[in-house]
Chains A and B, each alone.
Chain A
Amino acid sequence: MGNLREELIEQLTVRTAFTIPIFGGIDVAESVVVTWIVMAVMVILALFLTSNMRVDHIGKRQAVAELMVTKFEDMLAGIVGENGRAYVPYLVTVMIYIGISNIIGLFGLKSPTKDLGVTAALALMSIVLVEYASIHANGPKKWLHNFTEPIAIVTPINILELFTRPLSLCMRLFGNVLGAFVIMELIKIVVPIILPAVFSLYFDLFDGLLQAYVFVFLTGLYINEAVNE
């Protein structure tokens, strides 16, 4: 069992991939490097799918690109509402990024979402986007005033929400990915054949994609609330 503990800790530790030798050395985490790989995959895929775009007689690649973009956008546009349509491309990007990040463990890389720093960054961006959407839609005055809605006494709670919302987003994603990983490792030890493959379908694939959806779904709900207040 001591072996298992060491292995789990090894898997869960965010190692430093390399150090930038300035300001006394900036450590670049492994998750950031894996994020670059995910980014490269996404951009190359996008370039591949959208090369040679035509208006008619479209090829299979273009059909896939159009289907993907329109389906994802429709899915998220329904959540953020008509006023929040401008934020849909960002949400789709984040959803694809988290989705790929969650299942990249299947390819032998460490999921970036297993690093609290990454999920914290995602949650931070989400809450900044939500507050920006609110200010953009309502104006700074109304945005501030909205903290006292529906009655003045809830103002502290509303302010607290500024921190709890991203914290819950961050922790939910991190916890789910971490939990799924730990459970999978345990299953692999208990029953090393066949069963892990079945559970892997759920914990690695389904749960990974589900958490990507949940993350953007909640962010989308917050944006919807912000722009339609």
Chain B
Amino acid sequence: MLRIDWNVLFTVFNLLLLFILMKIFLFDRVKNVIAERQALADAKLKEADDTKAEAKKQMQDYQAQMKDIEKTREDTIREARESADKEYQKIINSANLKKQQIEEDAVTEATNKKNEILRKAQKEVKDLVMDAAGTVVGASVNDETNSKLYDEFLKKTGEEQ
């Protein structure tokens, strides 16, 4: 029971050996596997965070792009509308101009034609009247008188019209 001798040293040695064996086979092994698991979990969490950040960034990029596209679309439509308006106005203007030109031309031509026809008609009527008068009056009346008569006749007919 009360025996202090070499065996104290044996026990010390035994305990040290036991501690070393337990450290190698139990504590270090468990510690390592827990540390490994911790590292794995940390890596997974970091990966998740990175993915989330990446997704957020992409989302923002996408939204920015959408905004750009929207703006471009509006710009394009506005420009197209403006240019179409301008073109329309130009076409209308030129059409109006042309129409006016055509009208003016038509009026001028008509006037000219009318005048020519009138002139022709006058001449023919004059000739006719002169012939008729010449036939009726005969040689006693000279050309000068004829012409006078004719003018009077024209005047009268002109007034009647």
Q: CA A54 – CA B37 in complex, angstroms?
A: 9
Chain B proximity of A91: nearest CB distance (Å): 10
* Chain B residue at minimum C-beta to C-beta distance from A43: B21
Q: CA A94 – CA B27 in complex, angstroms?
A: 13
Binds B, one of A112-120, A186-194, A213-221: A112-120
Q: Do residues B12 and A124 form an inter-chain contact, with CB atoms below 8 A?
A: yes
Most buried by B among A66, A89, A93: A93
Take A46-B26, A66-B34, A90-B19 as given contacts and tell me if A118 and B1 are in contact as well, using a CB distance cutoff of 8 Å. no
Q: CA A118 – CA B15 in complex, angstroms?
A: 10
Question: Which B1-25 residues sit within 8 Å CB-CB of chain A?
Answer: 1-12, 14-19, 21-23, 25
Q: Which residues of B contact A27 (CB under 8 A)?
A: 5-7
Cβ-neighbour of B17 out of A39, A112, A117 (below 8 A): A39
Q: CA A109 – CA B128 in complex, angstroms?
A: 171
Chain A proximity of B140: nearest CB distance (Å): 148
Q: Do residues B30 and A69 form an inter-chain contact, with CB atoms below 8 A?
A: yes
Q: Do residues B8 and A89 form an inter-chain contact, with CB atoms below 8 A?
A: no
Q: Do residues B22 and A93 form an inter-chain contact, with CB atoms below 8 A?
A: yes
Number of interchain pairs (Cβ within 8 Å): 121
Q: Which residues of B contact A28 (CB under 8 A)?
A: 7, 10
Take A42-B22, A50-B25, A69-B30 as given contacts and tell me if A121 and B3 are in contact as well, using a CB distance cutoff of 8 Å. no
Q: Would you list the 9 A-B pairs with minimal beta carbon distance, nearest first?
A: A121-B11, A46-B26, A29-B7, A69-B30, A50-B29, A46-B25, A89-B27, A12-B1, A93-B22
Residues of A within 8 A of B (CB): 12-14, 26-29, 31-32, 35-36, 39, 42-43, 46-47, 49-50, 53-56, 62, 65-66, 69-70, 73, 89-90, 92-94, 96-97, 112, 114-118, 120-122, 124-125, 178
- 19 other A-B residue contacts (CB within 8 Å) besides A32-B10, A46-B25: A12-B1, A27-B5, A27-B7, A29-B5, A29-B7, A32-B11, A36-B14, A39-B17, A49-B26, A53-B32, A65-B30, A89-B19, A89-B27, A97-B18, A115-B7, A117-B7, A118-B7, A120-B8, A122-B11
